[in-house]
Amino acid sequence: MKLENKVAIVTGAGRNIGEAIAHRLAAEGANIAVVDLEGDRAENVAADIKAAGGKAVGLTANVADEDAVKGLVAGTLAALGRVDILINNVAISDNKHILEITKEEWDRVMAVTLGAPFLMGKYCAEQMVAQGAGGNIVNIASTSGWRGRPRALAYTAAKGGVINLTRSMAVQLAPHNIRVNSISPNKIGSPVGKENFDPTRPVTNLAGHPGEPDDMAEAVLFLVSDSSKFVWGENLFVDGGCMAMESG
């Protein structure tokens, strides 16, 4: 197993991409802190992991709140003993034009989509440094962070921030043997903030179909395992070739 006895925190893990990531890392031997704002979702995913023979705990937290993040890290330590891996997956979108979006909507998207990866990164990295054994952090970005969109503003700005947050985190944490990378998906699983996945929705990519949460889970596994031990501060596009088609 690639992650035997490692402890991984996965945010937004109650459904969709986060749920798939939690299951995939658990299948490789990691003990999982399943984090979601909706506690029943977190508990259900943790129960499924345990039913499959893994070890997991469901934790409820608003990861955009500093005190909640501190409590989450403490709860993970109490339940699982350490922190080796962090997957910053949680995000919300605005889907608004600049002439429509309110300051309140902007602030909320920034707090969750960019602020949460900062807070989680800070306090998980502190624990990793204290343990002295290094670690891995993967921030889930988006192709939206690389280009403008007609119906999203705060989300595109926040995801662009996640991409450069990743680079700066990588530079600053490398001396502690903590590898930080990001993944930019495009149209994988259900849209941000939506419950249902429509496999027939139109996409523009080289694959000719939308991605599935398991596609992201496999990419995350690669980045947190020794298979990618020489990959530092990088972004991996998991987008079916969408960005390769950009004409500039």
Is 155 assigned a catalytic role? Answer: yes
Q: Which amino acid is at 15?
A: R
Catalytic residue among 155, 157, 161, 225: 155
Instruction: Show which residues are catalytic.
Output: 155
